Structure 1
C-alpha cells in the first residue's frame, strides 16, 4: 500500500516538475543585433521602440522533420519544438512566420504519402502559426542536391505550401513589405530544368521594379556553377538604387568567399563537447543521411545577377546552421538564420525581424536551450521523482528486517 502511494507521488512529482521545466525552458531568449556597419554607441532606445505599423516576422530554418517514422529522440525533440512555437507566439506576438528551407530531413527521398505525413507533422509542430501568414522556402534536404533535382518533385513539394510556384519560388506582400523567395538550389546546379523558372521570377520582379523607370541596356553574365556547367543570364540595367527592392529569402547564402568577414555569435556547448562521440553520433545520425556540404552558396555571378535585377532591401539565408551578419559593398545586408532543430546542432536559434516603413530592418537574435542541458535536466527531474519510491522501498526493507 505504501509502495503504491509512493509510486503515485513520484508520478505526480515528475509531471509537476517536468511541466514547470518545459514551460520555462521553451521561452526564447532574444537580444537586438545591430548591423556591422552601425556605431553601437550612437544607437538610442528610440531606434528599437515598437510601432503599430511595423511588420514583425519570425525566421527559422532546418526543422528537419521526419514524418511518421520517428524515433524516441525525434518525439522528444518534436515535443519541445512544438512548445517553442507556442511560447514564441505568446511572447513575441509576430505577424508572420518565414521558414528558410529544410522543413524535412530527407524530403527528396519520400513518396507522396510519406511527404503528406511530413506536411501534417509540420502543421502540428508550428501550431498557432497556422492562423498567421507563413511562407516556406525549399532547402536542399527538401528537394535534394544537384544530382537529385527534379522538376516534378519540386512541383509536388511546392504545392504543399502557400505562395510557391511550380519551380519552388514565390513572391508576396505583407503590410506594404514585398518579399521574394528563390529556389537557390536551382541557381547552384547550373543549366537544370528549374533554372528558367527561377530566372522568370527574377525578371518579372525586376520588370515590376522598373515600371516607373527608363529601361537600360541589356547585359549578359555567365554563371559558373559548382559542377562546372554554365548558363547565360540576360538582364536589363535596373536604375533603382540599392536596397530599394523586395526582401529576399533564399536557403543557400549568397556570399561565398567572405565567411571570414561574417560576424557570428558563438554558442559553444561545454556539455555537448564532453559527450562521447558514440552518443553524439546517435543523437545526430538521422539529421545527416548524406554528405551535405554546409559551405554551399549561390555562385558569385548568379549573386551579381540577383543584386542587379532585384536590388534587395535585405537578404535572409540559411543552410550553414550558424548565425551570420554580413554587409555587401553597396550596403545590402545579408543575415543567415541559424538552425532551429536539435538534430542539426546542440544550441538552436532563430531570428525576429521587424520591418519598418521606409526605415531599417531591426533584427533580434534568439536562442533556445541546448539539447544537452535539457537532457541532463530531464534526467535530474526523473531521479528526483523516483526518490519517494526509493526511500519508501528502503524503509519497507528496514522494517521487515526489524520485524524479524
Structure 2
C-alpha cells in the first residue's frame, strides 16, 4: 500500500502504510560469507593466512577476500544512503506511525535473499517482515511475499510457519466471537485479534496470467497488457496464492511490484488492487492510495502526483520565458545605452 492512511482517533494517531520496494534503486546484492542465498546451504568463512592477516594473491594486489570486504562495505553504504533517502521522502509527524512492507528491492529476489539482508531490513524498520498490525479493530496482515516460493528454503519455512500461526490466531478469533466467551480446545494459547477478516498487504501480486483485464489511466500500456506474467517473479505462484486465500480469506488485498495499477477479483470474492509505482523512475504518472478503513467497510481514493512530463514541460517553459525576458532586457538596455550615448553626443556637439 503506497500511501494508505487510516485515522485512529482514540490515540490521536494515524496509520501510514508504505512499501519500500521500487522507491529505492536496486543495488547489486552482496552476501556475507556465512549468509548464502535462500536456496543454498550456509557456507563457511575461509581462514586467513598466517596470524589472521588478509590473504594476498600477489604483491601489491588485494586478495579476493579484501575485494569482497570492500564490496560488502560499499553495499552497506548504498543501503544506508537509500534508507536516509526513504526517510526524507516519507518524513512524517510524530502522531503518524510508519509501517513498512518488505519487497524484492529490500532483500533481493528469492534467489538473492538471505538472513543477513532480511534481518538488516527488520532491524532498520524495527519490525518483523510478516506480522499483523491492528488499528481501531482493523487487522492489517503484512506478508513477506518474497519468501513464498514454496521450495523449503530456511527463510521460506520460517515465513510459512509464521503465516500458519497468524492464520490460526485469526480463525480462532473469529470462532471465539461466534461462540461467546468459551475458548475452543484447538484454539488454546492462540493470540486473539479483532474478529474481522484482514486486509492483506504484500509486495508481489497474487497469481494472474497478465494485465489484459486491467484498465484505467495508471494501468500498463496497451502494448504490454497481454504480456504473460512469470510465476514467482512477476506474481506469486498459483499454489502460494491459493494458500494465502484459504488461510486468511482477506476482504481486500493490496499489492505492488508490477509498477502499474490493476483491479482483480479472485475466486469471485477476494478483491485485489495492485498499486502502481510511487516513483517517476518507473512511470510518468506515479500515484498512491488513500484509504479510510473501518472493521466493516473501507473506501479507497487514488491520488496522482504531477506527471513527470508535465513538470519537465513547466521547467522548460519557465526556462524559455526567463531566457526571453533576459534577451528582452538586454535589448532594452542596449537601446537605452544607445539613446543615452546619442543624447550625450548631441550635447557635446552643441557645446
Instruction: Give, in angstroms, the shift of residue 139 of structure 1.
Output: 1.4
Alignment match, 2:83: 119
Instruction: Give, in angstroms, the shift of residue 379 of structure 1.
Output: 1.6
CA contact (8 A) 1:316 1:334 kept: yes
Query: Equivalent residues in 2 for 1:215-294 (5 A)?
Result: 244-257=196-209, 259-261=211-213, 263-267=214-218
Instruction: Give, in angstroms, the shift of residue 194 of structure 1.
Output: 1.1
Provide TM-score, normalisation by structure 1. Answer: 0.58
Alignment match, 2:238: 300
Alignment match, 1:378: 315
Closer, same or farther: CA 244–131 of 1 in aligned 2, 3 Å: closer
CA displacement, residues 38-86 of structure 1 (integer Å, 9 cap, x when unaligned): xxxxxxxxxxxxxxxxxxxx7349xxxxxxxxxxxxxxxxxxxxxxx9x
Distance 1:293 1:97 in 2: 30
Query: Equivalent residues in 2 for 1:80-229 (5 A)?
Result: 95-102=14-21, 103-106=23-26, 109=29, 111-128=75-92, 131-163=95-127, 165=128, 168-188=129-149, 190-211=151-172, 213=175
CA displacement, residues 8-67 of structure 1 (integer Å, 9 cap, x when unaligned): xxxxxxxxxxxxxxxxxxxxxxxxxxxxxxxxxxxxxxxxxxxxxxxxxx7349xxxxxx
Distance 1:293 1:200 in 2: 22
Q: Between Structure 1 and Structure 2, whose CA radius of gyration is higher?
A: 2
Instruction: Give, in angstroms, the shift of residue 330 of structure 1.
Output: 4.5
Alignment match, 1:30: none
Alignment match, 1:391: 328
CA displacement, residues 275-324 of structure 1 (integer Å, 9 cap, x when unaligned): xxxxxxxxxxxxxxxxx999711111111111111121211000111111
Provide TM-score, normalisation by structure 2. Answer: 0.67
Distance 1:209 1:269 in 2: 35
Query: Equivalent residues in 2 for 1:314-329 (5 A)?
Result: 314-329=252-267
Unmatched tracts of structure 2, length 5 or more: 6-11, 30-73, 177-194, 222-229, 343-351
Closer, same or farther: CA 298–310 of 1 in aligned 2, 3 Å: same
Instruction: Give, in angstroms, the shift of residue 260 of structure 1.
Output: 2.8
CA contact (8 A) 1:100 1:251 kept: yes
Q: How many residues align?
A: 263
Distance 1:132 1:122 in 2: 16
Alignment match, 2:40: none
CA contact (8 A) 1:269 1:347 kept: no
Alignment counterpart, residue 274 of structure 2, candidates 329, 336, 342: 336
Q: Report whether the alignment pairs 1:59 with 2:2.
A: yes
Distance 1:369 1:294 in 2: 33
Asked which structure has the greater RCO (Cα within 8 Å, sep 6+), the reply is 1
Unmatched tracts of structure 1, length 5 or more: 1-57, 62-84, 86-92, 215-242, 271-291
Closer, same or farther: CA 151–269 of 1 in aligned 2, 3 Å: closer
Closer, same or farther: CA 108–387 of 1 in aligned 2, 3 Å: same
Q: Which aligned segments of 4 or more residues in structure 1 are displaced greater than 6 angstroms?
A: 292-295
CA contact (8 A) 1:108 1:148 kept: no
